[in-house]
Structure 1
């Protein structure tokens, strides 16, 4: 079972095994030492100069990025053959999480190491890798990723920047512009997307000193003020033909698959931000006195800490399970310098759906956590002296870049349906089997393999019910609208939210069950069990509300009443005591004054 190939979107139709998932409890001593190196770097070199970085000091940011290069941080994703560490995605996710308290600097590093460098790592020729990767790994040269244009954001293929071959066949002539480019103020290499001959969407590596290439002024942003964000302009910029990345017309394979990795890495960074916000908020709640007592003793404050901790735990479970899936996919592809672009793209795209889920969930969880953090701080939370104010402003961009959450919500069900139509998932077969089961007047099976005395049995049964509710409501939506369903964006978004809840709950459940198989101290298991149970209860409630809303848009009269009764039959659970769960979770957070996973 452990060697079974687990494809993207499979969680909808099958149940995975705890032994198949990667969790933080699996980190090796080497991984933890690397994370500690990054943590020490942040404390020693970044935090003391945070105020300077926030004033957008290019020279300081470049100096610190080169220091990051010296400790290997910039080369984590770069193969050892080209001067990097060649780490797996699980480890690089841990490093992204650990770097997160570096705020704006962390984003500058993330843009360089992720979307700036990975296009060359995954899609560059051996000559291109040899030319650029060693310098990118050391920090000698810094990178930026250039996709967004004034007229095309989420619609990346609508880009108007154009490239035509010069008469002598030695250069591509670029004309057009890009906006909101992170690291533009100091980057040396730019991954630029343009349409060759107006139709072939392609990627190029453009060097800063290219004639005809200019960089506009800094944007004045709400948050992440210590990052450089500037527009780019190309006026007959001559790009040597050997700067084409991959094949002409195959730029979408690079753009979208690098964004997949970017979305997943963004979730890891959000996780680090959540943990920092929890630590700040729990410490403040213990220190702040009102009516003669610490405000952490008030249930309306402590329950916020419980929900913040729960969201971080769920995100953590998702991020590292997804990292393990991507690592496995890349390993199974047997990637090396001779493997073609298509194989690389397919290996990454296998879990595109899960990457989008990570991005949406983590960015919205981060916003919820920092918002509650500000509330716990009260008036102090609105003052720049307190870090929570900065986290609140910086967090907002996460729901916008790497594809807006709205676009990702549309992509999630669309990707699932495409995989089903290609025969990669038995989605239609499962939906038809459920229809037959629903026609049977006998009580529905829970679909759970958990023994009745299992403390995770209820959460397991809720997950099985969520999957059935999704197949029932989603199947009806497909029957009603067919291929026109993509136009019904409210329905698609609701189905997407159902998938997000299912994946999130399954990740937490598998992690907690895996811990229970190796942990003999039941006290240490209580925290993850409580958080998994709390999320399951909330997901169950959301599924009912969401399902009723979708059904009301699909059916009317007696037909609607029939479908509502079927949904109620699936989601037949009595509510559990969520207040008690929150009290137990928050007590541990308040005592530790930090995030508590177990």
Structure 2
């Protein structure tokens, strides 16, 4: 026990220290001497002069203004001089490493005590526990430091994700859609999951647990570009190309990204202006053009590039080198994601770097888009759940008009819609994931493209409503980058990323309808 927790005071003793010359307060049975600190408080000394606070219990006032983590900061923790006699701190807050949240709807139903699910096996639950411990120990602390600074994830964290007996497997399966061959022989997460049994629900678990870092730019910086940039190499690259490139990517020694979007063409893949023409000897491509909004592009070594060729649309793997340059793009989140404007100036690339057939790039990309959008759905619904948890805690501790916020019907109505949305999205996501586990890769491409497009469009529209409602619940704190509402402000500022990446909402909704219309029986009439 720390020295400042060994001394005990009665509440009567604390009450005697109620002047500016000797000012003590109680917060959750902890006794703090704030005599010297009162004039240093960011809100001024006046916050300590409210009726009942000097020498009294300031627990309610404190948690109406501050997150629990403030109590744990060294500069404030040293103000604690003891505990109230016969009492122990009761409030749980901050990050409890590896633990499931007890807040209603803060966890998906399959992780909630007393509920069952037909989708998840013991290996999924073991993987979730291991991922939760890993994220809490390594990723969450770094994300909270690096996100505001715009720093990319450290190599030490990436190394832990990619290698080592205890952690190997976090990075590997994230790129494995449609093929698990590269997992053969690996020990995933210390043997928790056998490579041959790894399925899309395991991948869902990995994606959703990583999302809990609470930093959108940092989260994308965790090689999210690789998640969409490497699968075309795995599934359409030559054996020689894969043997050379894949190991160094999966070991996090090098980084790859997907370079499709341009200033001229986002969702309109066929509107690309980047060209690839063959040299006279037919042995190389010469690639010229620009790409925009490329996640991880600033620190990528390889680029999976969509190009216009003589035969149509072709995907080619380009290595960073002469003629390849990148410039950072400032977006709603920081530069942790490495979002880039990429220029290819007559870049010479061996024809062996062609992914799939020449002119067959649309199939490579469309198959890639399904998985990309599915991953984004996994991430989006978990982000919304984090917002639900923040709001549930806030309305339970914040008072307005003399009552807790949750006593107001208008606040409860907003919470009802938030919870309804997040639970329905998770249920639809799990249904689609189950189909993915029981369909061949080709069947997924033909049968699920519309469903995944609908889900992503529906989910991202709802996410923006959730973000707006959360800001209203938090008030001014919901637009402040520090303090009580910092996660709400960050979510509200970055929520539109999912609505655009992988295809804009309206484009995806239309895709879903067009796919449905193609399946309409010709003889059906009212």
2:124·2:201 contact (CA, 8 Å) conserved in 1?
Answer: no
Distance in 1 between residues matched to 2:181 and 2:236, nearest whole Å: 16
2:378·2:429 contact (CA, 8 Å) conserved in 1?
Answer: yes
Distance in 2 between residues matched to 1:294 and 1:96, nearest whole Å: 35
1:177·1:233 contact (CA, 8 Å) conserved in 2?
Answer: yes
Distance in 2 between residues matched to 1:38 and 1:186, nearest whole Å: 25
1:161·1:194 contact (CA, 8 Å) conserved in 2?
Answer: yes
2:522 equivalent to 1:402: no
- Find 2:162's aligned residue among 60, 69, 83: 69
* Aligned counterpart, 2:49: none
* Aligned counterpart, 2:314: 202
Distance in 2 between residues matched to 1:226 and 1:390, nearest whole Å: 14
1:308·1:369 contact (CA, 8 Å) conserved in 2?
Answer: yes
Q: Structure 2 matches for 1:63-462, cutoff 5 A?
A: 63-70=156-163, 71=167, 72-76=169-173, 77-78=175-176, 79-81=180-182, 87-102=198-213, 103=215, 104-109=217-222, 111-197=224-310, 199-209=311-321, 211-215=322-326, 217-223=327-333, 225-330=335-440, 344-345=441-442, 347-385=444-482, 386-420=486-520, 427-429=521-523, 431-432=524-525, 435=526
Q: Structure 2 matches for 1:488-499, cutoff 5 A?
A: none
Distance in 2 between residues matched to 1:42 and 1:405, nearest whole Å: 30
1:263·1:358 contact (CA, 8 Å) conserved in 2?
Answer: no
2:219·2:337 contact (CA, 8 Å) conserved in 1?
Answer: no
**CA deviation vs aligned residue, 1:352-390 (integer Å, no higher than 9, x gap):** 001101211121222222221111111111111121100
**RMSD between superposed Cα atoms in Å:** 2.0
What is the Cα deviation at residue 214 of structure 1? 1.5
* Aligned counterpart, 2:123: 30
Partner SS for 2:298 = coil
What is the Cα deviation at residue 74 of structure 1? 1.1
2:304·2:316 contact (CA, 8 Å) conserved in 1?
Answer: yes
**CA deviation vs aligned residue, 1:243-291 (integer Å, no higher than 9, x gap):** 1001100000011221111111111101110110011110011010123
1:270·1:362 contact (CA, 8 Å) conserved in 2?
Answer: yes
Distance in 2 between residues matched to 1:415 and 1:109, nearest whole Å: 33
What is the Cα deviation at residue 225 of structure 1? 4.5
* Aligned counterpart, 1:480: none
* Greater Rg by CA: 2
**CA deviation vs aligned residue, 1:310-368 (integer Å, no higher than 9, x gap):** 101110011111111122112xxxxxxxxxxxxx5554232100110121112122222
What is the Cα deviation at residue 224 of structure 1? 5.3
Partner SS for 1:220 = coil
1:111·1:143 contact (CA, 8 Å) conserved in 2?
Answer: no
Distance in 2 between residues matched to 1:293 and 1:348, nearest whole Å: 53
Distance in 1 between residues matched to 2:133 and 2:148, nearest whole Å: 20
Distance in 2 between residues matched to 1:98 and 1:120, nearest whole Å: 26
TM-score (norm 2): 0.70
1:61·1:105 contact (CA, 8 Å) conserved in 2?
Answer: no
52 and 63 in structure 1: CA distance in 2 versus 1, 3 angstrom threshold: same
What is the Cα deviation at residue 48 of structure 1? 1.6
1:260·1:349 contact (CA, 8 Å) conserved in 2?
Answer: no
Distance in 1 between residues matched to 2:207 and 2:387, nearest whole Å: 16
Unaligned ranges ≥5, structure 2: 1-115, 189-194
What is the Cα deviation at residue 27 of structure 1? 1.0
Unaligned ranges ≥5, structure 1: 1-22, 331-343, 421-426, 436-598
After TM superposition, where is structure 1 displaced by more than 6 Å over at least 4 residues in a row? none
What is the Cα deviation at residue 32 of structure 1? 1.8
Distance in 2 between residues matched to 1:105 and 1:68, nearest whole Å: 14
TM-score (norm 1): 0.62
Partner SS for 1:65 = helix
2:141 equivalent to 1:44: no
Equivalent residues, number: 387
Distance in 2 between residues matched to 1:101 and 1:206, nearest whole Å: 33
